[in-house]
Structure 1
Amino acid sequence: MAAAAMLLIGGSSAALAHGAHFVPEATDVSWDGTVATVAFREVDVVLKADVTTISVKVTADVDAICKRGVSILRIHRSATALDVKDYPISDDGTVEGAARVPLKVTGLEVPDFTCVITHVSVTTVLEDFWTGATLIDKTDQRQIRESTTDISP
């Protein structure tokens, strides 16, 4: 909130951080089904402050096929989570960070059906509020995981 107020009142520091950018090769995203872990590096950060504010938005898209006898259901579900924190700027203008973002996709199990997850796609959007640097990272994973849900007594 304070960051937004300063932008409106005093202008942005982005002009000072013109060359700031995230390094795609230094971005690593993993998702275990409940938590997304995002490691990143931003370089050429020149601000008057010793920290910068970075948002990490993660979206997981999951496809599954559920079967019971001759019945087949194709399911697509997604979920999005956001984490916003201040990260320290090193003396050389580098920001190294790692965010752990709770993220769970629900609705992938159907009572009395055997479900198999066939595809997982994780999209991460990094944005530095002060420098204006952004990065979009998309990771496709082919994951096969079977689960059987039986709610009969």
Structure 2
Amino acid sequence: MGKQSDHNASPTEFAQASPRNLYDTSDIRFVMMEVAKLTDAADRQAAANAKLGERIDAQGEKLTTSLDAHGQKLTAAFERLSEKLTADLKDRTLEIKTGAKERADEIKKDLSEKATEIKGEVKDLRNSVVDLEKNLSFYRGALRVLGLGFAIFIVLVGVGAKFLVDKLG
């Protein structure tokens, strides 16, 4: 039979001892019990490892499902935001176009009104020029009449003076 192990050895001594010196391996029952314990421990560890793999797979599936759901939510939110921003951009563009068209119409109307005012002022100016020409024509005629009247007056004064000079003289 082999040597009996010294169960009172320190952990360092126990770890450094030869395995043959630790346990009596000639006792088959002891060996079978240790093998059974090790087999049971290995089976438990294998079962735990299998469960761990299943739990990791389950957590991975949950995480994948959760990420897919969040990805779909984010995609939907992005699409809604994109649609909203596109609609806002279209509305703003339409507002700008409408505003520009209204402003162009206002400018066109203002220019038309100014052109009408200028045409009216030109017409008034023409009428004033025509009135001035008429007045000038009147004054020319009046001046001619006055000039003729003055000439007649001078002739009469000259004739009258000659008559007086002839009679008196």
Range into which the TM-score falls when normalised by the shorter chain: under 0.3
Structure with greater helix percent: 2
TM-score by length of 1: 0.14
| TM value normalised by structure 2 | 0.13
Structure showing greater radius of gyration is 2
Q: Which has the higher strand share?
A: 1
Q: Larger RCO: Structure 1 or Structure 2 (Cα < 8 Å, ≥ 6 residues apart)?
A: 1
